[in-house]
Amino acid sequence: MGGPPVFVSRRLPEAALVPLLAAADVRMFEGEQEPVPRDRLVREAAHCVGLLVLLTDRVDAALLAAAPRLRVVSCMAVGYDNVDVRACTARGIAVCNTPGVLTETTADLCWAILMACARRLDEGRRVVQEGRWASWAPFFLAGQDVWGRTVGIVGLGRIGTAVARRARGFGMRILYTGPAPKPEAEAETGAQRVPLEELLSESDYVVLLAPLRPDTRHLVGARELERMKPTAILVNAGRGPLVDEGALADALRRGRIWGAALDVFEQEPVPPDHPLLHSPNVFAVPHIGSASIATRMAMARLAAENLAAVLRGLQPPSCVNPDVLAASGRGLPSQQPEHT
Ligand code: DGY
């Protein structure tokens, strides 16, 4: 196989990599379940022009310093907090991501965990499977209503808007907070922009979908949890470090909030002895927001297309630092995409 050398950091179906296989000499990590070891990633990057990485791979200044030929880092994810974009830009390296293709699937998962927590589905499943179902009883496994309640979305990007669209079907009042007003999403969903403090105190469900950046790390900590209703549920389908997990475990233990539905954690995989997993009313899943077969194929395909386009000197479908391409004459500037 000819073409510029490229490393794909996890085993992906060949069918998804077709555009890349035609444009590059592709080496692929053989593991599917486990991340590529750091030293192998650095070794591969040292001679590669392109990397296709997952959110489990850290692309930092140290890796970049060891990769003098690198021109493009393509993430199979919409979030790219694992990549030092500033350092990439300084070195003229394009960074690409996969927005759009995972929006609806991730919004579905948000609702799945929100409802599972509100209606205590995991406890119910265990009661049935373990033969502990004694009788119908007035308040047996009684949870929180979803319909007609208030949902507060922190980060009304693509996924947040898709979550809001679904909330309309449940007759909910929709609040959101974010750095800028979203008039189109407001018109489509009836969402109302409020300050974070108001969203926290008014919402029955606080849904976190903001991108992880230095200014959003621990966006929800002890102070924010104190503002929430004792009947409220915190839903995190963005990134784990948006929440101070110690403060959340403490708030759940004290009954300060009613429950938490979590797809993401500060440390992934979350250790089984983590206090959060032993807190009351926690419904936890292992970062599977975008995990439908069709969506994961679409993400892999888009990541491959992005990478192949940059290698061919064309405009990639989604680049987060398009000025790099404009400056080098490789591709045309594409629009700065929203994170989620
Ligand atoms: C993303 O794309 O950022 C998601 O977290 C992957 O599911």
CB 97 less than 6 A from any atom of ligand 1: no
3-state SS, one letter per residue, for 22-82 = CCCEEEECCCCCCCCCHHHHHHHHCCCCEEEECCCCCECHHHHHCCCCCCEEEECCCCCCC
Secondary structure class of 311 (helix, strand, coil): helix
CB 102 less than 6 A from any atom of ligand 1: yes
Secondary structure class of 5 (helix, strand, coil): strand
Q: For residue 26, what pLDDT is reported?
A: 98
238 CA: nearest ligand 1 atom: 5
Å from CA of 86 to ligand 1 middle: 20
- CA distances 263 to 35, 206, 238, 286, Å, are 19, 14, 8, 6
| Ligand 1 atom 4 nearest Cα | 77
CA distance 13 to 18: 9
CA distance 148 to 199: 16
Q: Which amino acids are annotated catalytic?
A: 239, 268, 287
CB 159 less than 6 A from any atom of ligand 1: no
106 CA: nearest ligand 1 atom: 7
3-state SS, one letter per residue, for 258-286 = CEEEECCCCCCCCCCCCHHHHCCCEEECC
CB 317 less than 6 A from any atom of ligand 1: no
Query: For a substitution probing ligand 1, which of 52, 53, 54, 78 has the most ligand atoms within 8 Å of its CB?
Result: 78
CB 74 less than 6 A from any atom of ligand 1: no
Residues of the chain within CATH 3.40.50.720 domain(s) are: 5-101+292-326, 103-284
Q: For residue 1, what pLDDT is reported?
A: 62
Residue 331 pLDDT grade (very low, low, confident, very high; cuts 50, 70, 90): low
256, 234 Cβ separation under 8 angstroms: no
CA distance 52 to 173: 40
| Ligand 1 atom 2 nearest Cα | 77
Å from CA of 308 to ligand 1 middle: 21
Amino acid code (one letter) for 89: T
- How would you label 149-181 residue by residue, b for 16+ Cβ within 10 Å and e otherwise? bbbbbbbbbbbbbbbbbbbeebebbbbbbbeee
Amino acid code (one letter) for 194: V
263, 289 Cβ separation under 8 angstroms: yes
Q: What is the pLDDT of residues 211-267, one digit of tens each?
A: 999 999 999 999 999 999 999 999 999 999 999 999 999 999 999 999 999 999 999
5: preceding bond cis by omega (within 30 degrees): no
Q: Which fold has domain 5-101+292-326?
A: Rossmann fold (3.40.50)
Q: What is the pLDDT of residues 2-26, one digit of tens each?
A: 899 999 999 999 999 999 999 999 9
CB 208 less than 6 A from any atom of ligand 1: no
Q: What's the CATH class of domain 103-284?
A: alpha beta
pLDDT of 334 over the 50 cut: no
CA nearest 19: which of 324, 294, 312?
312
**Residue 319 carries which DSSP code?**
B
Averaged pLDDT for residues 179-196: 98
264 CA: nearest ligand 1 atom: 5
CB 319 less than 6 A from any atom of ligand 1: no
Å from CA of 232 to ligand 1 middle: 25
Averaged pLDDT for residues 271-296: 96
Higher pLDDT, 1 or 241: 241
